[in-house]
Structure 1
């Protein structure tokens, strides 16, 4: 893991305002892709809405390399810092 990625992971936790649902989904998908790689679990059942949302966010990043995902995560966090403050 790169230092900039580790820093971004910590910075997103202290934003002045919580990102919206879509932004959180993007962050989650990029984080899982960067730390685990391609999705390796089955899609949760239809009644597990939160689990399904996370699964879909991660599945959208399938095929993205770990380094690319880390870079994209850092870029998203920088935009969120500008939008919400830190």
Structure 2
């Protein structure tokens, strides 16, 4: 289910906003890897820090919970932006 949802995000008619992209990233990493297991990037790596923060925000969710939340968010984005 996760791979097909990840592909659907790529073909949305409009790009999700930064907050939505960060939430998607965090849920995807939590669903595939689990809790964040790397150090937070340095102060000049703005993109890396944003991605890390999105992932760290999902800490404690099981992989199954994160996968379900990811799929739910993709469905919301499909309804919002179209596919």
TM-score (norm. length: structure 1): 0.94
Give the root-mean-square deviation of aligned CA atoms. 0.6
User: In structure 1, how many angstroms separate the alpha carbons of the residues matched to 2:7 and 2:27?
Assistant: 15
Of 10, 24, 36, the residue aligned with 1:13 is 10
How much has 1:5 moved relative to structure 2?
1.9
Aligned length: 83
Q: Which runs of 4+ in 1 moved over 6 A?
A: none
1:34 paired residue number: 31
Unaligned runs of 5+ in 1: none
TM value normalised by structure 2: 0.97
2:49 counterpart of 1:55: no
